[in-house]
Amino acid sequence: MEKVDEMLASPWFTVYPDVGNLSAWGNDVPAELKLGIDRIAAIHLKDTQPVTEQSPGQFRDVPFGEGCVDFVGIFKTLHKLNYRGSFLIEMWTEKAKEPVLEIIQARRWIEARMQEAGFIC
């Protein structure tokens, strides 16, 4: 990995991990975050259903807390790594009767998981 880092040494080469996609495909999300911590531009937050032999998974329209993403575990890892970058919440509200309310509720849900992991919001 060190040689790859040397070859790609550039402030313009960054990573933008999507914890939903990583989780749905069964990746070791904490290990992936540790591997790229020095290059993370932002963290992409969404919940997903896992890909299995019986299911293609679900990558959108999964309400926070109803999928396979271990948000508290992920935030604990990021807290231990002293991550101080940006987060982006990905969600869909086309079908929502109150889209602004759903956005507010999603943010509050994410902040509560962050606080469980030791972040101050």
Give the pLDDT confidence score for residue 102 in this predicted structure. Answer: 94
Percent of the chain whose pLDDT exceeds 90:
83
pTM > 0.85: yes
- pLDDT tens, residue by residue, 94-113: 889 999 999 999 999 999 99
How far, in Å, CA of 116 to CA of 102, rounded? Answer: 21
Pull the structure tokens for residue 37.
């911590």
Give the pLDDT confidence score for residue 12 in this predicted structure. Answer: 80
Q: Residue 28 is which amino acid? A: D
Tell me the pLDDT band of 116, cut-offs 50, 70 and 90.
very high
Tell me the pLDDT band of 22, cut-offs 50, 70 and 90.
very high
How far, in Å, CA of 2 to CA of 57, rounded? Answer: 34
Three-class SS of 55-67: CCCECCCCCCCCC
Pull the structure tokens for residue 32.
């992936």
The answer to whether residue 5 scores a pLDDT higher than 90 is no
Pull the structure tokens for residue 38.
């020095």
3-state secondary structure of 31: helix
Catalogue all structural domains in the chain, each as residue range(s) with its CATH number: 14-116 (3.20.20.150)
- pLDDT tens, residue by residue, 74-98: 999 999 999 999 999 999 888 899 9
